[in-house]
Chains A and B, each alone.
Chain A
Amino acid sequence: MSMTKWTITIQVYRQKGEALPHYDEFKLEVDPDEYVLDGVERIWAFNDRTVCFRHACHHSTCGACGMRVNGVEKLTCITPIREVTQNGGKIKIEPLRNFPVISDLVVDMGSLYSNMERVGAQSVLPVTEAEIERPLRSWPKEDSQYIRLSDCIECGLCISACPISTTSETYLGPAVLAGAQQKGVRLDPNLLRLVDCEDGPWRCHSAFECTAVCPSFVDPARRIMLLRQQIVLERLTRLFRSEPKKNTVKEANR
């Protein structure tokens, strides 16, 4: 933290019940190295106790504090104020897109969580499948006994940024399809049926916004492309795979 102080204005999206949404402005003195979430918390603590927002861990693990900061999807607990405004400037804070607003900055992310469950997205994985720390091929095989948390923190930023999710309610969305890719359609025939449809990876129009906003290096766009590969390979394999021989009545009577 620095000793510098900035005076900034935070515009907060407000929506309660059936009332029309509007923005409330709050003038704050902040340290520019503080995070946007610190500013929102200060508004709640000292200016307006009715401001609703979600947060928990404060270190980009829980994925609860996803919001739009100046129109861009951000995890507010790791977005420094210095990065999004300047001394005397403004920060506009809005809820994530493509999820129903419950109150102010809080959205209902139930659809994301239930779809993640439907595709069997894994919350823990063998460390050998980690792609950040080391390339996949450099893990010793015996390390597969160790597990780690999956990279996706289910923050919903990718779904908020995706232009296809904006216009289609039934599209599974980047995080869900990335979860399906990680699970693998070869291992799960039900998963293949679930994702190989018009609301699956074929609906992605390659805007790559999901990857641009992902705070956790999941790279959902790449995973969607890999999921397409998986599906095509699996369909081709099934096409050319010889069907298991059906037992004849004679064999069955033996």
Chain B
Amino acid sequence: MNLNRNQPSPGKLLQWFNPLGRKLSFSGFTLNRVSALGLTLYLYLHLIVLSLLAQGPNAYDNFLKLIHNPWFMFGEWLVVAAGLIHGLNGLRIALTSLGIVVPQQKQMFVFLMVIAVIGSLIFAIRMYTTF
């Protein structure tokens, strides 16, 4: 008998990002992971950019000129959106982890994500109108 198939395995990590057949709260679980990965990637990129300062002001200024375009600004907006999603969803997880508002966690998730969307839109308008 092959009993190994269908058993838990760290290799099944991609299942965390498969929304098929899942309920609303699972979106919170997935969003938190995706936004955390994005923010971690941004942190490393940020450190790499800062390291340009070691090459002198010209290197840094040239890089700033290079990224002053709508596409890079979109990337910056993604960082803001990921920060809002991760932070607000984290608030829900922190509260429920302490046993607070567990029965209302779904409504809280929707409410906080609406705030995240509104916040992200405000940032997008501000960023692109002052570009």
Return A68 CB to nearest CB of chain B, in Å. 8
B129 CB within 8 Å of chain A: no
Which residues of chain B are near A209, meaning CB under 8 Å? 22-23, 25-26, 29
**A107–B6 contact, CB under 8 A?**
yes
Which residues of chain B are near A168, meaning CB under 8 Å? 8, 10
Which residues of chain B are near A97, meaning CB under 8 Å? 6
Which residues of chain A are near B97, meaning CB under 8 Å? 206, 225, 228
- A98-B8, A99-B6, A209-B23 known; A225 vs B99 contact (CB < 8 Å): yes
- A99-B6, A100-B4, A225-B98 known; A207 vs B12 contact (CB < 8 Å): no
A71 CB within 8 Å of chain B: yes
B55 CB within 8 Å of chain A: no
Which residues of chain A are near B7, meaning CB under 8 Å? 98-100, 169
**A101–B29 contact, CB under 8 A?**
no
Q: Which of A13-21, A37-45, A150-158 contacts B (4 or more CB under 8 A)?
A: A13-21
* A47-79 interface code vs B (CB 8 A; 1 in, 0 out): 000000000000000000000101110000000
Nearest A residue to B89 by beta-carbon distance? A206
Q: Which of B13-21, B46-54, B70-78 contacts A (4 or more CB under 8 A)?
A: B13-21
Which residues of chain A are near B98, meaning CB under 8 Å? 225, 228-229
**A95–B105 contact, CB under 8 A?**
no
Most buried by A among B6, B28, B102: B6
A189 vs B45: C-alpha distance when bound (angstroms): 48
* A156-179 interface code vs B (CB 8 A; 1 in, 0 out): 000000010111110100000000
**A212–B8 contact, CB under 8 A?**
no
**A229–B21 contact, CB under 8 A?**
no
A226 CB within 8 Å of chain B: yes
A205 CB within 8 Å of chain B: yes
B107 CB within 8 Å of chain A: no
Which residues of chain B are near A212, meaning CB under 8 Å? 23, 25-26
**B4–A207 contact, CB under 8 A?**
no
**A207–B8 contact, CB under 8 A?**
no
B interface residues, how many (CB within 8 angstroms): 32
A2 vs B7: C-alpha distance when bound (angstroms): 40
- A95-B6, A206-B28 known; A221 vs B12 contact (CB < 8 Å): no
A127 CB within 8 Å of chain B: no
B62 CB within 8 Å of chain A: no
Which residues of chain A are near B1, meaning CB under 8 Å? 17-18, 102-103
* A214-234 interface code vs B (CB 8 A; 1 in, 0 out): 000000011001101100000
Nearest A residue to B8 by beta-carbon distance? A169
Which residues of chain A are near B105, meaning CB under 8 Å? 206, 208
Nearest B residue to A72 by beta-carbon distance? B21
Top-8 shortest CB links A-B: A71-B21, A208-B25, A100-B3, A207-B29, A212-B23, A169-B8, A72-B21, A225-B99
Question: Would you mind naming 20 contact pairs between A and B with Cβ atoms under 8 Å apart?
Answer: A15-B2, A71-B20, A71-B21, A72-B21, A99-B6, A100-B5, A101-B5, A102-B1, A102-B3, A107-B6, A166-B8, A166-B16, A169-B9, A205-B29, A206-B28, A208-B23, A209-B22, A212-B23, A225-B98, A228-B97
